[in-house]
Structure 1
Amino acid sequence: MSEHQTNRQISRLLRISAVAEGTTLLLLVFVGVPLKHGLGFSEVTRFLGPVHGLAFLTYIWAVINELSLSDQPRGWAFKAMLFSFVPGGTFWFFRRSIASAR
């Protein structure tokens, strides 16, 4: 496997994990929490919590992996991790990163 193919796969992993992390956080915050506290239906958060935890850990691993295998600056990785705590932040950050790379 060439170096270009390896970098492209890592970037693909990062994009997929960013979408998974962002989607599960949005579902947890805007669906799970209101159902739990508004209607007393806590099963959704019991399911989505661990799913989001796995997605978050995968995303953080992918960011660190991308940082170590590419020429991304450390500030980029810090921002990528910081925006993962904001609902919808990963979507905004990566859209902005792609737009600035053009």
Structure 2
Amino acid sequence: MHENLTMFSFLNIFRIVAFLEGLSYILLLFIATPIKYMTGNPEYVKLLGMPHGMLFILYIVLAFLIKRDMKWTNNTFLFVLLASIIPFGTFYVERKLLKPATNG
């Protein structure tokens, strides 16, 4: 019973981190970077860069922690990891792989 509570805690944290990591990546790619190159103002990249980097690392660590409990195959796990570098990828992972696990 305690293992399930821990797994669900990590799973819920991973869902939140997946959302925030994806959001920070989109803001960095589609807002901060264009502002940097169009206006020469790197402040938004500096502001979003560190939190995004920390969320990225946390996403990877949490993926490793829940892999066994989620019973992900190596291919699924690789997909989860690669989703963190594809814009909108973590949203897909959250919706297709993580949400069903917390609902069912």
Q: What TM-score bracket applies, with the shorter chain setting the length?
A: 0.7 to 0.9
Equivalent residue number for residue 11 of structure 1:
11
Q: Does 1:81 align with 2:90?
A: no
Equivalent residue number for residue 36 of structure 2:
36
Three-state SS of the structure 1 residue aligned to 2:87 is coil
Give the whole-Å Cα distance in 1 for the aligned partners of 2:73 and 2:40. Answer: 45
> TM-score by structure 1 length?
0.88
> TM-score by structure 2 length?
0.86
Equivalent residue number for residue 54 of structure 1:
54
Segments of 5+ residues of structure 2 without an aligned counterpart are none
How many residues end up aligned between the 2 structures?
102
Q: CA deviation at 1:70?
A: 4.3
Q: CA deviation at 1:94?
A: 2.2
Q: CA deviation at 1:2?
A: 1.7
Q: Deviations over 1:27-54 (max 9, x none)?
A: 1001100110011111110111111100
Instruction: Name the CA shift for 1:22/1:35 in 2 (closer, same or farther; >3 Å).
Output: same
* Root-mean-square deviation (Å): 1.9
Q: Deviations over 1:45-102 (max 9, x none)?
A: 0111111100100000000111144422222211011111111111012212257766
Whether the 8 Å CA contact 1:67–1:74 is kept in 2: the answer is no
Segment of structure 1 superposing worse, 5-14 or 90-99: 90-99
* Identical pairs, percent: 29
Give the whole-Å Cα distance in 1 for the aligned partners of 2:63 and 2:76. Answer: 9
